[in-house]
Amino acid sequence: MKRRRPRTVPASRGFTLIEVMVALVVVAMGLAALMMAVSGTARTSGYLRDKTLAQWMALNRLSEVRLNLSKFGQNTDTGEINFANRTWHYDTRYFDTSIATMKRVVVRVYAGDAKTKGNPLAESTGFLGTSLAAPGGSNVDWTTGSTAATAAPATGAAGTPSGLTPAPGTPGITPGATAPVTPTPPTGSGQTPTPPTPPTP
């Protein structure tokens, strides 16, 4: 009896060195692009944070100028501020306007101390002078018209608002009609109320 030779299984083919290197290059390029995107997002967030802080300081400086300055300041009004655990410096300048008693105030805020050079992170503009009202001395009632609108009352079966019954003998009120409402003008507006239109029978 003839013996059969055992069948030899061919060796499985693995990755070659070139394939491994190409895969590593592709992974490295993807990681590099991801790191660039992450670093760009971090830089943008830091810039927006600094710009917001600089805008706050510029507005604060404008308020200080209007509240504390009794006369026009010099055109070389600079200073340093320690804000948010960092050092900033500002530059306040005054410019003439078409009105002799009014000046235009421009405040620029920079990152770092006064020796640091660079572009301003924020700039705010305001006005100062005797032609303007004193801060906080406005006589305008800013609360007028800011109240929330009330919902219309529900009407009953007779056409009158629920829970309300017109008094007998009320002129201009007929059965089944809604009582007219007299509009009240805002305080100090100088307007006269419009007379209500009587309902048609």
pLDDT in tens, 118-138: 889 999 999 888 777 666 666
Taking residues 16-23, report their average pLDDT.
Answer: 90
- The answer to whether residue 66 sits within a structural domain is yes
- The answer to whether residue 24 sits within a structural domain is no
Q: How confident is the model at residue 160 (pLDDT cuts 50, 70, 90)?
A: very low
- Give the domain range for residue 65: 41-129
In this predicted structure, what is the pLDDT of residue 79? 86
Q: How confident is the model at residue 59 (pLDDT cuts 50, 70, 90)?
A: very high
Domains identified in the chain, total number? 1
In this predicted structure, what is the pLDDT of residue 195? 57
In the chain, count H helices and then E strands: 1, 4
Cross-strand pairs, 92: 77, 107
User: Is residue 185 over pLDDT 60?
Assistant: no
Q: What is the CATH number of the domain that holds 47?
A: 3.30.1300.30
Q: Which helix (DSSP H) or strand (DSSP E) does residue 37 occupy?
A: helix 17-68
- The answer to whether residue 180 sits within a structural domain is no
Task: Count CB-CB contacts under 10 A for residue 109.
Answer: 27
- The answer to whether residue 111 sits within a structural domain is yes
